[in-house]
Amino acid sequence: DAFHQIIRDEGVLALWNGTFPSLLLVFNPAIQFMFYEGFKRKLLKKQLQLTSLDAFVIGAIAKAVATTLTYPLQTVQSILRFGRHRLNPENRTLGSLRNVLYLLQQRVRRFGLVGLYKGLEAKLLQTVLTAALMFLVYEKLTAATFTVMGLKHSRRH
């Protein structure tokens, strides 16, 4: 029934609203890991190994950076998914790059640059702690695995 109603009211392409921004959001974990590894390498130049607190803190910082950089796309994704948008009259294909840029532009016009980050605090609260814990567990599991296998864990990857 839901599929039928969406197709009838909004068209078949509405079933994929938010897909293009979702594809672009694969950059979020890539950015997160890039910053995590960069911070980790800098820290390991100054000390022999990463402490639990180090892994937790740099994991949190890396996720905060990645989330902040990709948050405008997450906002557009939500707008497209929940139908709170006005179509770009020049291009009716929802979720296309042109419409993503159009929605970003409309958001800036309506709320200013700060509008791109409206609600960021809640998103950071939702994601940063989880990512920090994930990196802490990752480092502990990696160290344990190397120990069990009898391998020397390299400081630099």
Min mean pLDDT across 1-15, 21-35, 139-153 is at 1-15
Mean pLDDT of all residues in 117-139: 94
Per-residue b or e along 70-104, where b marks 16 or more CB atoms closer than 10 Å to that residue's CB: bbbbbbbbebbbeeebeebeeeeebbeeebbebbb
Q: What pLDDT is stored for residue 157 in this prediction?
A: 47
Task: Flag whether pLDDT at 24 surpasses 60.
Answer: yes
Share of the chain above pLDDT 70, in %: 84
Express each pLDDT in 54-92 by its tens digit. 999 999 999 999 999 999 988 887 777 766 555 555 545
